[in-house]
Amino acid sequence: MKVAANSVVNIDYRLTSPEGELIDSSEGEAPLAYLHGHGQIVPGLERALLGKTAGDHLEVELAPADGYGEREAEKVIEISKEALPEGVSPEVGMELLADGPDGELLPVWVTNVAADTVTLDANHPLAGQTLCFAVTVRGVREATAEELEHGHVHGEGDAH
């Protein structure tokens, strides 16, 4: 079957910079399983995978807007260390969850630790970067009703 909305898609992928520097890869791990049409992978890759079938190979170069977005300066804030949750010892590169404007949880990354303050960046670490994906589709199936209800894929290594 072809990849469509609410397909469970298994992919092997290799992500590099335009210069060929390896950023991430599924090599040595099980293929990545995601629920198509739910924003679980970057938008440009999700678009490129629509209509593909098992065995298809594709290579796409994605502008930042089709990847993790442009870097936005206003998403970088400096806060007092005292404002961090109790028990958190901030380190550069650490990912934390912050309260977003609508009460949702937003991932932020620690980018600097000073004596009394910490710099938090809500830009994804790959924001502003052109991404080159080489992807092979390993499997496509319809999501079960339970998977759709939960909004994620079940199977090996799932949350249950």
Interactions with Zn ion, residue window 19-78 (CB under 5 A): none
Nearer to Zn ion, 115 or 145 (CB): 145
User: CA–CA separation, 13 vs 10, rounded Å?
Assistant: 10
Task: Report in angstroms how near the CB of residue 159 gets to Zn ion at its nearest.
Answer: 6
Task: Report in angstroms how near the CB of residue 156 gets to Zn ion at its nearest.
Answer: 13
The residue sitting closest to Zn ion, measured at its beta carbon, is 150
Kindly state the tokens that stand for 73: 């300066």
By CB atoms closer than 10 A (0-12, 13-18, 19+), residue 117 is: middle
150 lies in the binding site for Zn ion (CB under 5 A): yes
Nearer to Zn ion, 115 or 159 (CB): 159
User: CA–CA separation, 50 vs 18, rounded Å?
Assistant: 23
Site string for Zn ion, 99-138 (x = CB under 5 A): ----------------------------------------
User: CA–CA separation, 35 vs 24, rounded Å?
Assistant: 20
Alpha helices in the chain (DSSP H): 43-49, 145-150
From the list 52-60, 67-75, 83-91, 142-150, the region that binds Zn ion by CB under 5 A is 142-150
Contact footprint for Zn ion (CB under 5 A):
150
